[in-house]
Amino acid sequence: MKLLESLYNIDDINNYADGYIVGVQDLSVNYKNYTLDDLKKIDELCLKNDKELFVSLNKNMHNKDLAFLKEVLLLLDDLHIKGIIYYDIAIVNMHNSLCLKTPLVWGQEHFTTNYQTMNFWYQYGSKYSLVSAEVTLDEIIEISKKAKTELIVPIFGYISMFVSKRHLVKNYLKTFSLADNSDINYMTKEGNVYPIIDNKDGVIVYSSHILNGLRELFVLKNAGISYVYLNSFKIDNMNEIIKLYKEAKEDNCLQLENKINNMLEGNTDKGFLYKETVYKVK
Amino acid sequence: MVVHELLAPAGDLERLKVAIMYGADAVYIGGPSLGLRANTSNFTIDEIKEGVAFAHKYNKKVHVTVNISLHNKELEGLLDYLKELEKCKVDAIIVSDPTVMELALNNTNLDVHVSTQASTLNIEAVKFFEKLGVKRIVLGRETTKEEIEEIIKNTNVDIECFIHGAMCAGYSGRCVLSNFLTARDANRGGCSQICRWDFSLLDSSKKELKGEKEFTFCTKDLSMLKYIPDMIDMGISSFKIEGRMRSIYYIATIVGTYRKVIDKYLSDKEHYKYDEKLEKILTNCANRDSIPQFFDGNYDETVQYYNGRVEVSNQDFLGLVIDYRDGMVILEQRNYFKPGDVVQIFGPNMDTINFEIPDIYDEDDNLLDAARHPRQIIKFKLNEKVEPYAMMRIKR
């Protein structure tokens, strides 16, 4: 089982991760977005350091994005990309019409919740699925048995909860004439603090707690999961955390998990790994 | 030739009938499972059959939402459920998960409509679903007029757009605030509308940024009344009203108003004039500011709604006409009224009647000083004949 990390610093390419996920300027959300020149450099460095590279083009695409999207898809097909993570179905259609060889990763963040739909997208070039962070560990195990796609399971980091085209922070600041140039804001409710970013594409909100599933690594490994994903967004000591994940063994995982929890001042949880959401309130 | 369907929400059989009587060409409803409004009344299979029979009698259609994002356990029995809907003779299902699309297309005769939950916003995505064999796509609500025009021009599938009602603050399907804050699954019908909650906003050093009102994601509602002629001319196939949890009064008012505008424009495009009185009727009914949202490309601070969760319950709706016998209106009370109040009765296929409430009586012909009790049967004299399903409201 390989460890994938969202790459926020090109200098980290030689760290303990087995591979990286990067975004592309104007086409991605929730990742560090790089220019095409940066992307070529990252591709070279990954190749040189024997690291795998996934590129996430996971923005909701509008018509105006399609020409650039086509250019980027064609470029990626000439690089050494392991997989293209997509949210918008436009990418599936273009992947087919352009006869691209780079595999796709079905990554519709909150929709990737069952094996049969993974098998649907497998027919359309999705070799991998990036599993939703809102499914339980038991559901992941069942998916791993029945899905034809290889799985990438989020195991560490802040989780994206909300994406909007609207500039919700800027609109508030403007309405009430508040001055602020923060590159990141926070919203709070009942003691929980949620990172919120308002950039040119709109707004993204993240979970208040950091998912830390180090203890579950071995359950996932035994289930035959191909990749786990660690999101390094707003994590200061990420290289050390990756190292601990890499060094973890079944007999020391609890100790290492606690160590990471302490490093993150206890702001960690298990997300939905053991918590089933409900939808019918009786 | 494009048919411009007026598509109304219906949370139950009564609302389905009201929507159709007031001019909807089709209604969309939730079945016993797998719809995105798990906590509204929804329809049983028998009620779906009855609703479809009622709609088909008037040559109208029924679409059923099967638009949750499936987890493993919801795969069980899915095909049986779709076949059950087919047996009920529903006209279409509204779907976001491709597993449901594929099963329905390969195993039933149901038309498949791609839900707005799929956030389809561009030509390429529409082409994918078109090749899959879907009949219609409900576009994401973030599309502008120009984008919709480009999509219609470059594809061959029916396009449906929302015209009225509440808006999601985020891209549909990309919001799981409800999952994280309340453990209720937004993409399986449990949305607890966190976008309407108040929060404190902090800067990067975690110092509070405090305006006169609290920070919220809440946006104004959508209203496209003014743009209906544009939308007709663009070739949009279906105009969708949001709100399966809304009242019969809301449905009657909104459906009736849009029906008038669509018919008026289609009957004489050259001399059509926008009627601001109709806009006022919509405003009075909803009690919230409404705007065209993304259609005109504007989503700046003016689209936000910072008035908290205060949504005054609408007291305009006074009663539902049950019958008219011997010159007497028989009405089921919904809000307080008394003799002397100036009111109006509106309804399908009738001109609005304005009048002052005369003496009123209960079911046993006792004279009353006021109609105080919800659902109480009230009788009063009126010279003009009115039909069942007409409604009485305060005249504003």
Q: Where are the domains of chain A?
A: 2-157+210-269, 160-206
Task: Find, in chain A, the residue whose alpha carbon is nearest to that of B191.
Answer: A279
The residue type found at B132 is L
Indicate whether A189 pLDDT > 90.
Answer: yes
Helix, strand, coil abundance in chain A, percent, nearest 5: 35, 25, 40
Minimal-distance CA residue of chain A relative to B179: A277
Q: Looking at residue B121, what is its pLDDT?
A: 98
| pLDDT mean over A250-261 | 96
- pLDDT-based confidence at residue A238 (cuts at 50, 70, 90): very high
B207 touches chain A (CB under 8 A): no
* Least Cα separation, residue B175 to chain A (angstroms): 4
* Measured distance CA(A94)–CA(A66) in Å, rounded: 9
Hey, is the C-beta of A115 within 8 angstroms of any chain B C-beta? yes
The pLDDT value given to residue B19 = 97
Does residue B314 carry a pLDDT above 80? Answer: no
Name the helix (H) or strand (E) containing B152: helix B145-154
Check B71 against A65: CB less than 8 A apart: no
Determine, for residues A281 and B190 on separate chains, whether the beta-carbon distance falls below 8 Å. yes
The answer to whether residue A188 neighbours chain B at the CB level (below 8 Å) is: yes
User: What sign has the CA pseudo-torsion A56, A61, A67, A70?
Assistant: positive
Is the pLDDT reported for residue A281 higher than 70?
A: no
CA neighbor of B264 nearest in space, from B57, B6, B72, B1? B6
Instruction: For residue A115, give the nearest of B38, B72, B184 by CB distance.
Output: B72
Which stretch, A53-62, B34-43, B307-316, has highest mean pLDDT? A53-62
CATH architecture of the domain covering B317-394 = Beta Barrel (2.40)
Confidence of residue B289 (pLDDT cuts 50, 70, 90): confident
What's the rounded mean pLDDT across residues A246-259?
96
> Residues spanned by CATH 2.40.30.10 within chain B?
317-394
Report pLDDT for B39: 67
Q: Phi then psi for A138, rounded to 5 degrees?
A: -60, -40
Sheet containing A185-189: order of strands: A160-164, A202-206, A192-199, A185-189, B200-202
pLDDT class of B396 with cuts at 50, 70, 90: confident
Question: With contact defined as beta carbons under 8 Å apart, do A86 and B128 qualify?
Answer: no
Segment A114-149, tens digit of pLDDT = 999 999 999 999 999 999 999 999 999 999 999 999
Q: Is B83 helix (H, G, I), strand (E, B) or coil?
A: helix
Q: Which two tokens stand for residue B87?
A: 């047996």
**Domain B5-303 -> CATH class:** alpha beta
| Average pLDDT of span B379-389 | 96
Helices B123-132 and A90-97: crossing angle in degrees, nearest 10, is 80
Least confident of A120-129, A140-149, B68-77, B129-138: B68-77
Q: For B100, which residue in chain A has the nearest alpha carbon?
A: A117
pLDDT above 80 (res A41): yes
Q: What is the mean pLDDT of chain B?
A: 94
Task: Go through chain B and tell me how many residues it has.
Answer: 396
Report the mean per-residue pLDDT for chain A: 96
With both helix axes pointing from N to C terminus, report the angle between B78-87 and B98-107 in degrees, rounded to the nearest 10: 50
Question: What pLDDT was estimated at residue A282?
Answer: 55
pTM of the model: 0.94
Q: Is the pLDDT of residue B24 over 60?
A: yes
Dist. CA B59–CA A201, nearest whole Å: 44
pLDDT interval class at A278 (50, 70, 90):
confident
Model confidence pLDDT, tens digit, residues B342-361: 999 999 989 999 999 999 99
CB pairs under 8 A between A and B: 224
The pLDDT > 90 percentage for chain B reads 84
In this prediction, residue B245 carries a pLDDT of 84
pLDDT value for A56: 98
pLDDT for residue B117 is more than 90:
yes
Query: Architecture of domain A2-157+210-269 in CATH?
Result: Alpha-Beta Barrel (3.20)
pLDDT of B313 reads 58
3-state secondary structure A221-235: HHCCCCEEEECCCCC
Among residues A85, A87, A91, the alpha carbon closest in space to that of A56 is found at A85
A273: CB partners within 8 A, 6+ apart: A136, A137, A211, A213, A216
Listed in sequence order, the residues at least 6 apart from B85 whose beta carbon sits closer than 8 Å to its beta carbon are B31, B48, B64, B66, B93, B108, B110
In angstroms, rounded to a whole number, what is the distance separating the alpha carbons of residues B65 and B58?
Answer: 21
Q: Tell me whether residues B184 and A166 touch, CB distance under 8 A.
A: no
CB A116 to CB B75 under 8 A? yes
Q: What is the pLDDT of residue A276?
A: 87
Q: Does A60 touch chain B (CB under 8 A)?
A: yes
Q: Does A278 contact B at CB distance below 8 Å?
A: yes
* Cβ–Cβ contact A169 with B under 8 A: yes
